[in-house]
Amino acid sequence: MNSPERACHLAKQAFGVAYVGTKWGRNPFSYGAYSYVAVGTSGKDYDILGIPVDNCLFFAGEATCQEQPDIVGRTMMSGLREAVSIIDVLSTRRDYIAEVEALEATQRQLDIETNEVRDIIKKLDAVRLPKSSVAKSIYEMLEVNRIQEEWKISEEDLPPPKPPDLNWRVSPRKRSITTNNSSLTSTLRTRLILRGGVTLGIKEGA
């Protein structure tokens, strides 16, 4: 006789086909009571105690349910859970409740890991440099270096400078000044000739 068969045989000897119903609402020692577990116990311990044996032996009770903290709620929920599991096994030979619980356990583990990563990120944000003068100086220095690098890159992309134009001409304003000086010289020479004086060294055609 293997272990599952022996467990079922002992259960039949202990309980037979009878059942015992307790009055939870009238018992002053259990009404509204909460169960206590040892330090370090996790929800996995409840799940392990509630695992059926070869879909032949099913377990219910407050020690197999982690969803509710109270004794009565755990007992009722675990009993309904195992009743549905037995119906599934008898009709389809598959325990859909166990599959759903496995998926939920996986999701809970993912949530725990996500929360751990979030806590690590918060701790890293807490130890970062504050916005002080030192941090500001470092930021400005990095910004200056970045601008200098961008300026060097832009200079490399510029075309070569053009050679100077040697055939430059006098601007129109300068030409007008020269013309005005020639007119003034001609006027002075004319006045001196009319007065019969010398032209102060100003020759014709000068």
In this predicted structure, the answer to whether residue 47 has a pLDDT above a threshold of 70 is yes
Which DSSP category does 53 fall into? B
Task: Identify the bridge partners of residue 102 per DSSP, sorted by sequence position.
Answer: none
pTM for the whole structure: 0.35
Sorted by where each begins, the domain ranges of the chain are 3-96
Rounded Cα distance between 103 and 124, Å, is 32
- Percentage with pLDDT > 90 across the chain: 0
Sequential DSSP letters for 94-137: --HHHHHHHHHHHHHHHHHHHHHHHHHHHHHHHTSPPSSHHHHH
Looking at 57-66, 89-98, 114-123, which range is the least confident one? 89-98
